[in-house]
Amino acid sequence: MPLVKHIQLNETCQLVLWKITEELYDLLEHVCLSETEKLRLEGFGSMSRKKEFVTTRVLLQKLLGDDVFIENNEQGKPLLINSNFDISISHSKHYVGVMIGKNHDLALDIEYLSDRVYKICKRFLSEDELSSILESNKQIHIYQHWCAKECLIKLYGKKDVHLIDELKIYPFKPSQSTFSGEVTRRDFSKKFDFSHQTFDSYLMVWCCQKRN
């Protein structure tokens, strides 16, 4: 399983990206799954989804050891068992990304870049956000907004959030190394900063922000 990127974000946080090239039986030889994880694996009908699931666990255990497992809370947020690290996970096609860290708000999103984003951008961008998109680099700029809003959902921790009214991305140029967004709800309001990288035909956006 080739390592594509390994970014040490700070003393406690790191981001790793892998490209899946193995068959499922090869991946299973390099991981220890809990009984709960084995049941979840059996429940996936898609082979690609099974590979993503197992690859995530292989990668996590390479970073933190064989006795660390992933469970999800009632909102679907991944939590680590037998570890005081936090985790964020994303996958797209053949790539799986994992972020781990302590005392930081973590979120990661990976998306394959395609023209379909032009058809759906009005579903997740406000009029102000749409007006800020640069025509000269339109595709990547829209995807940066999309990935950042996916990260905001993960940072908020609940899925019942309105993509346009309650998630805001501040104007930025796609060439900027960082940009910002905010969750604005009655029960939660917080600003977050994002970094990003492109590779092959993919975009990766993440937040690694020290908790107050």
Rg, Å, the chain Cα set: 17
Q: DSSP assignment of 40-68, as one string? A: HHHH---HHHHHHHHHHHHHHHHHH-TT-
Both tokens assigned to 72: 């999800």
Helix (H, G, I), strand (E, B) or coil at 155: helix
Residue 159's pLDDT band (boundaries 50, 70, 90)? confident
Q: What is the pLDDT of residues 72-93, one digit of tens each?
A: 998 889 999 999 999 999 999 8
Average pLDDT over residues 11-33: 94
Average pLDDT over residues 124-141: 96
Q: What is the pLDDT of residues 171-198, one digit of tens each?
A: 999 999 999 999 999 889 999 999 999 9
Q: State the pTM of this model.
A: 0.94
Q: Where are the domains of the chain?
A: 3-102, 109-210
Both tokens assigned to 194: 């994002």
CATH domain 3-102 topology? Ribosomal Protein L22; Chain A (3.90.470)
| The domains spanning 3-102 and 109-210 adopt the same CATH topology | yes
Architecture per CATH, 109-210? Alpha-Beta Complex (3.90)
Q: Give the Cα separation of 189 and 191 in Å (integer).
A: 7
The mean pLDDT of the chain is 95
